[in-house]
């Protein structure tokens, strides 16, 4: 069992990651003020000291702790490490992502140091964005100077203000994106903020202050405590969290995640570049994923290359275990080349033109963002040509090897039972939210576009179906959900229109003959024999016929989907890659 200390953005993310397992866990917060939806977690509220923590962990057989609390929750962090030492369990510290330090800031070791530095810089009018709990530590400053504190307008916070004796007329209450207005209104000489990371709005605060031409004081985040014998592993994102849970408590997830070929290639390139520039050879290298988090990847070395052996986790992937190599040479600019076993694009419709190596846009960007040196990188896969024959690459127009792909950098394992169970729970939460409509989408991209049509719906009303459209609609009917909106993008829509209620690529591919029939039905006569991806149709169909085609596709989808919701009303929205939404006409 896992115990999470949350109450933060990272805590909410941790809950989502753990919910993917389908297993029970506990989520602890000091108060019940945080609004959080837990699918499989149990919310525990109330402050706990170390003896209380020990008793709770022993009662509930806690074998792993996730500390996702605020970086300045110093006492809690100490208690967590002490707890872990006493009961002998490991800790995962879920850190925030922190932007690079800027020497233009005045960095303060703690609040006593901040007071000394404020005095030394002659700051007599200060806007403090450090929160209500810092009013006490900064008492010596605000008693002698004019100082405003921004706090949350809560009874708990106002009670702390009253206890500290801070003047109420110098309080300002938090409103989103209000820093610029406060600076204009109060005209402080400086602001002081905590090194709160990206999720704490650090960048927004300091950028606003700089634009106003005032000084920025920053209180450094405290170091996480350490104790001999206690295992503490640091992560700073959802993928790293899941991978670390899989490592420390393998049985928690029924299936384990893996790495994309893009992440493997990036790690190999990082290692090869380091060896070229510094001579350093390390067993692991840090890789920044597209979402900004950092994970460690194991690497190996050959005579003139570095390599990663791909770990697909429990996803049935023919590339599992293959060696992906990177050879790096000095260059006049940054470039990525394809070597042995890396396929080449032979048709239009991909991110790059025919003739280019089949290294997709996201992995190329990952390599550029991680390396930032003028080097020439050649990616090769010794077994690539053989393995490619067992993939869809030849059918897609990629010849000579495998593709280096991956948008997120992580491979999530395929588990139909677990995924459908998660959908069912999310649909139950959506119904319980009281929303008069549930909006189902294939993923985050389509959800983002559709949300603009339903700005008043609660977050819980939006549910991802992945590829399981039929299962999701059947669950909606079982739960007696009357109004369902389904957002679908063209790649899945053309499969669904042909009657495939599970659109996973391992079960079905685009039927060009059927798509041609839909085009004719819409009065469109174009040749799609060379079509690689369904989304290319948006560029090939004449602008004036797009709605007619969309209507035909939606009608065919409705034919198969509406019967699954016999007692409700289904609205289908067809979404383009740029966010244009077509409705049935």
* Contact by Cβ (8 Å): 272, 306: yes
Q: What residue spans define the domains of the chain?
A: 2-97+231-252, 106-219, 258-411, 416-582
**Cβ atoms < 10 Å from Cβ of 225:** 15
Distance between CA atoms of 225 and 446, rounded to whole angstroms?
42
Distance between CA atoms of 4 and 80, rounded to whole angstroms?
10
Identical fold for domains 2-97+231-252 and 106-219, yes or no, is yes
pLDDT in tens, the chain (585 residues): 999 999 888 999 999 999 988 899 999 998 876 678 888 899 999 889 999 999 999 999 999 999 999 998 999 999 999 999 999 999 999 999 887 776 788 999 999 999 999 999 999 999 998 888 899 999 999 999 999 998 888 888 888 898 889 998 999 888 766 788 888 888 999 999 888 777 667 777 888 888 888 999 999 999 999 888 899 999 999 999 999 999 999 999 988 999 999 999 999 999 999 999 999 999 999 999 999 999 999 999 999 999 999 988 877 678 888 999 999 999 899 999 999 999 998 876 677 888 999 998 899 999 999 998 999 999 999 999 999 888 767 756 788 999 898 888 888 776 566 577 778 877 887 888 788 899 999 877 788 888 889 888 887 888 888 888 899 999 999 999 999 999 999 988 999 998 888 766 556 778 888 889 999 998 998 888 888 888 889 889 999 999 999 999 999 999 999 999 999 999 999 999 888 998 887
User: Which residues have C-beta within 8 Å of that of residue 478, sequence separation ≥ 6?
Assistant: none
Measure Cα distances from 553 to 443, 492, 558, 572 in Å.
20, 11, 9, 10
Number of H-type helices and E-type strands within the chain? 20, 28
φ and ψ at 526, to 5 degrees? -135, 155
Q: What is the CA radius of gyration of the chain?
A: 27
User: Which residues have C-beta within 8 Å of that of residue 475, sequence separation ≥ 6?
Assistant: 420, 423, 424, 427
Measured between alpha carbons, how far apart are the two ends of the chain, in Å?
A: 51
User: Which residues have C-beta within 8 Å of that of residue 457, sequence separation ≥ 6?
Assistant: 435, 437, 439, 451
Distance between CA atoms of 182 and 197, rounded to whole angstroms?
21
Question: With b meaning 16 or more CB within 10 Å and e meaning fewer, what string describes 115-129?
Answer: bebbeeeebeebbbb
Where does 106-219 sit in CATH, by number? Answer: 3.40.50.620
SS3 248: helix
Distance between CA atoms of 457 and 436, rounded to whole angstroms?
8
In this prediction, residue 17 carries a pLDDT of: 93
φ and ψ at 80, to 5 degrees? -65, -45
In this prediction, residue 177 carries a pLDDT of: 62
H helical segments located in 20-138: 50-59, 74-87, 111-120
In this prediction, residue 204 carries a pLDDT of: 79
Tell me the two tokens of residue 175: 């409103």
* Contact by Cβ (8 Å): 532, 396: yes
List 307's β-bridge partners, or say none: 300, 325
Q: Which CATH architecture has domain 258-411?
A: 2-Layer Sandwich (3.30)
* Contact by Cβ (8 Å): 399, 344: yes
In this prediction, residue 13 carries a pLDDT of: 92
Superfamily of domain 2-97+231-252 in CATH is NAD(P)-binding Rossmann-like Domain (3.40.50.720)
In this prediction, residue 464 carries a pLDDT of: 87
């Amino acid at each position: 069992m896992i115990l999470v200390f949350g109450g933060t953005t990272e805590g909410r993310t941790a809950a989502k990651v753990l919910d993917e397992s389908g297993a029970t866990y506990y989520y602890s917060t000091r108060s019940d003020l945080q609004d959080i939806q837990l699918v499989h977690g149990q919310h525990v509220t109330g402050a706990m000291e170390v003896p209380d923590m020990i008793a709770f962990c022993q009662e509930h057989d806690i074998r792993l702790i996730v500390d996702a609390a605020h970086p300045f929750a110093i006492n809690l962090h100490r208690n967590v490490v002490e707890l872990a030492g006493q009961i002998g369990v490991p800790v995962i510290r879920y850190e925030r992502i922190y932007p690079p330090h800027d020497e233009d800031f005045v960095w303060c070791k703690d609040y006593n140091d901040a007071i000394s530095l404020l005095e030394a810089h002659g700051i007599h009018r200060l806007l403090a964005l450090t929160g209500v709990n810092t009013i006490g530590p900064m008492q010596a400053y605000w008693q002698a100077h004019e100082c405003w504190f921004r706090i949350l307008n809560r009874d708990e916070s106002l009670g702390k203000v009253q206890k500290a004796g801070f003047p109420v007329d110098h309080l300002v209450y938090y409103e989103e994106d209000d820093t610029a207005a406060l600076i204009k209104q109060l005209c402080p000489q400086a602001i002081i903020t905590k090194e709160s990371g990206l999720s704490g709005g650090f960048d927004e605060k300091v950028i606003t202050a700089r634009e106003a031409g005032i000084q920025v004081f920053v209180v450094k985040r405290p170091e996480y405590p350490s104790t001999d014998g206690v295992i503490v592993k640091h992560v700073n994102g959802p993928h790293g969290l899941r991978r670390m849970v899989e490592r420390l408590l393998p049985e928690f997830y029924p299936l384990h995640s893996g790495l994309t070929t893009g992440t493997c290639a990036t790690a190999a390139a990082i290692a090869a570049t380091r060896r070229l520039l510094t001579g350093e050879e390390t067993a692991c290298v840090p890789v920044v994923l597209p979402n900004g988090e950092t994970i460690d990847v194991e690497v190996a070395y050959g005579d003139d290359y570095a390599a990663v052996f791909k770990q697909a986790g429990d996803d049935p992937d023919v590339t599992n275990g293959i060696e992906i190599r990177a050879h790096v040479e000095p260059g006049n600019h940054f470039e990525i080349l394809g070597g042995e076993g890396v396929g080449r694009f032979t048709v239009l419709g991909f991110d790059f033109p025919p003739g280019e190596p089949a290294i997709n846009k996201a992995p190329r960007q990952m390599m550029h963002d991680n390396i930032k040196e003028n080097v020439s990188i050649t990616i090769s896969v010794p077994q690539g040509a053989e393995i490619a024959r067992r993939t869809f690459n030849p059918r897609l127009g990629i010849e000579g090897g495998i593709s280096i792909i991956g948008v997120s950098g992580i491979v999530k394992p395929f588990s139909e039972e677990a995924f459908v169970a998660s959908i069912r729970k999310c649909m139950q939460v959506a119904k319980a939210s009281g929303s008069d409509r549930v909006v189902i989408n294939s993923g985050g991209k389509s959800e983002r576009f559709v949300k603009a049509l339903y700005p008043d719906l609660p977050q819980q009303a939006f549910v991802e179906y992945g590829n399981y459209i039929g299962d999701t609609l059947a669950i909606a009917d079982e739960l007696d959900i009357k109004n369902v909106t389904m957002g679908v993008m063209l790649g899945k829509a053309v499969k669904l229109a042909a009657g495939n209620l599970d659109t996973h690529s391992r079960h079905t591919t685009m039927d060009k003959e059927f798509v041609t029939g839909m085009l004719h039905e819409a009065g469109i006569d174009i040749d799609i024999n060379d079509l690689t991806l369904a989304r290319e149709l948006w560029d090939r169909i004449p602008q004036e016929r797009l709605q007619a085609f969309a209507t035909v596709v939606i009608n065919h989808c409705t034919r198969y989907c509406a019967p699954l919701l016999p007692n409700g009303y289904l609205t289908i929205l067809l979404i383009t890659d740029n966010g244009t939404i077509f409705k049935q006409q």
